[in-house]
Structure 1
Amino acid sequence: MARLRRKSFFGDTRGATAVEFALLAPIFFTLLGAILETSVNYLAAQVLESGVQDTSRLIRTGEAQRRNWTVADYKKDVCGRLFGLFGDCSDMYVSVRQIDTFQSADYEVPLDRDCKSNCKWSKSDEWQPGVASGVVMIQVYYRYPSILQTPLADNRLGDGRLLMGAATVFRNEPF
């Protein structure tokens, strides 16, 4: 009798699909989530780059200098071009400075990359939009929130956020 029950138990295939789904669903949904987050992060990085390029045009043409912009005005204009992908723009670091030549352009991430929690900017914002025909370097960094905490991203901070950056170097027009 016990032999018959065991044989019928192993031969019963009802519910096999549910068991297979239960085994594979976490892997599938994790992979799907990683693909979606990577796509959103890539889109956000491209939007940040575009916003920085567009707003930097106002410095290049001398418009920002004529309007007596500050770093807060620059941030506000960049944030207005980010289409809501970035939450609080106060979490943005901006460095606008005149440099001597294109060859002297050098960047330094204003953040301790080894911080473990609540990573803060190690430098304060800079604002030197330059003069006519001067070479200007602009760097913008943002600590972007991340949903999945995958350890594969090399731009991930200790507190789980992603460090996104955009930079441009140009010569101001002779305004």
Structure 2
Amino acid sequence: MRPVATDRSALTKAAPPRRGRRRGFRCDQDGAVAVEFALLALPFFAIIAAILETAFFFLASQVFDSAVDNSVRLLRTGQAQVQNYTVETYRTAICDRLFGLFDCTIAGDKLHVEVNTAANFAAASFAYPLEEDPDTGIYEWKDTELYTPGEGSQIVTVRVYYKWPTILDIMGFNLANAGDGYRLMAAVRVFRNEPF
């Protein structure tokens, strides 16, 4: 049997460095971070942009829903009927509560209001409000705006829609569900007017 060496210095000696091109290429790290960043930057910023657009849509959707809730109170309590609101006046009442996040101009044609009475709660209709124009491919409102707020104790249906413009369309992420780059926001309320 051979004796085991107790001197570990022989085991820990570093191998002499190799000279040549291969070693220089393998150990050269200049620009590695820049290349990695270039590969990951586009997906990273696309995800950040998608998160921001989704968050802003949810914020706008909540503001929209609250504005419709507050404006419906005018109808339910009879204030709108006493003040002889029209569809334009009611549209303005909604827009005043949207904090400038929405394009409420008539020319923009993005906000659509329908206020109508119903014989009973089961008779309230909720049809999809948009249809595609076969010639242009643009989605347009099926029905004209209407405003029939009803009298005291009548059942009223309020449907308010908004075509929210989407911005991002990267890597298949797109919030649009109403064609031509828009997402349809909807707020629908069915209630019985107070006996005013």
Task: Please confirm whether the aligned pair reaches a TM-score higher than 0.5, indicating the same fold.
Answer: yes
Matched, 1:144 2:160: no
**Alpha-carbon contact 2:168-2:174 (below 8 Å) kept:** no
Matched, 1:60 2:94: no
Q: Percent identity?
A: 45
Give the Cα–Cα distance (whole angstroms) in 1 for the partners of residues 155 and 45 of structure 2.
Answer: 48
SS at match of 1:85: coil
SS at match of 2:161: strand
Q: Do the aligned partners of residues 24 and 153 (structure 1) sit closer, same or farther apart at CA in structure 2, a change above 3 Å counting?
A: closer
| Counterpart among 112, 121, 126 of residue 93 in structure 1 | 112
Q: Do the aligned partners of residues 48 and 113 (structure 1) sit closer, same or farther apart at CA in structure 2, a change above 3 Å counting?
A: farther
Question: Per-residue deviation at 1:156?
Answer: 1.6
Question: Hey, which of these two has a bigger chunk of helix by percent?
Answer: 1
**Alpha-carbon contact 2:76-2:194 (below 8 Å) kept:** yes
SS at match of 1:112: strand
Q: TM-score, with normalisation over the residues of structure 2?
A: 0.81
SS at match of 2:130: coil
Structure 2, unpaired ranges of 5+: 1-18
SS at match of 2:61: helix
Q: Which has the larger radius of gyration?
A: 2
Give the Cα–Cα distance (whole angstroms) in 1 for the partners of residues 97 and 86 of structure 2.
Answer: 17
The amino acid of 1:29's aligned partner reads: F
Q: Do the aligned partners of residues 89 and 28 (structure 1) sit closer, same or farther apart at CA in structure 2, a change above 3 Å counting?
A: same
Q: TM-score, with normalisation over the residues of structure 1?
A: 0.90
| Counterpart among 123, 131, 143 of residue 104 in structure 1 | 123
SS at match of 1:170: strand
Question: Per-residue deviation at 1:46?
Answer: 0.9
Give the Cα–Cα distance (whole angstroms) in 2 for the partners of residues 114 and 13 of structure 1.
Answer: 58
What is the number of residues matched between the two proteins?
173
Offset from partner CA, 1:133-173 (integer Å, 9 cap, x none): 00001000111111112655675222011111111111100
| Counterpart among 2, 24, 34 of residue 50 in structure 2 | 34
Partner of 2:148: 128
Partner of 1:169: 190
| Counterpart among 40, 43, 50 of residue 24 in structure 1 | 40
Which of the pair has the greater relative contact order for Cα pairs under 8 Å at 6+ separation? 1
Identify which range, 4-13 or 77-86, moves more after superposition. Answer: 4-13
SS at match of 1:120: strand
The amino acid of 2:184's aligned partner reads: L
**Alpha-carbon contact 1:138-1:169 (below 8 Å) kept:** yes
Partner of 2:180: 159
Q: Do the aligned partners of residues 10 and 160 (structure 1) sit closer, same or farther apart at CA in structure 2, a change above 3 Å counting?
A: same
**RMSD, aligned CA:** 2.1
Q: Do the aligned partners of residues 36 and 106 (structure 1) sit closer, same or farther apart at CA in structure 2, a change above 3 Å counting?
A: same
Structure 1, unpaired ranges of 5+: none
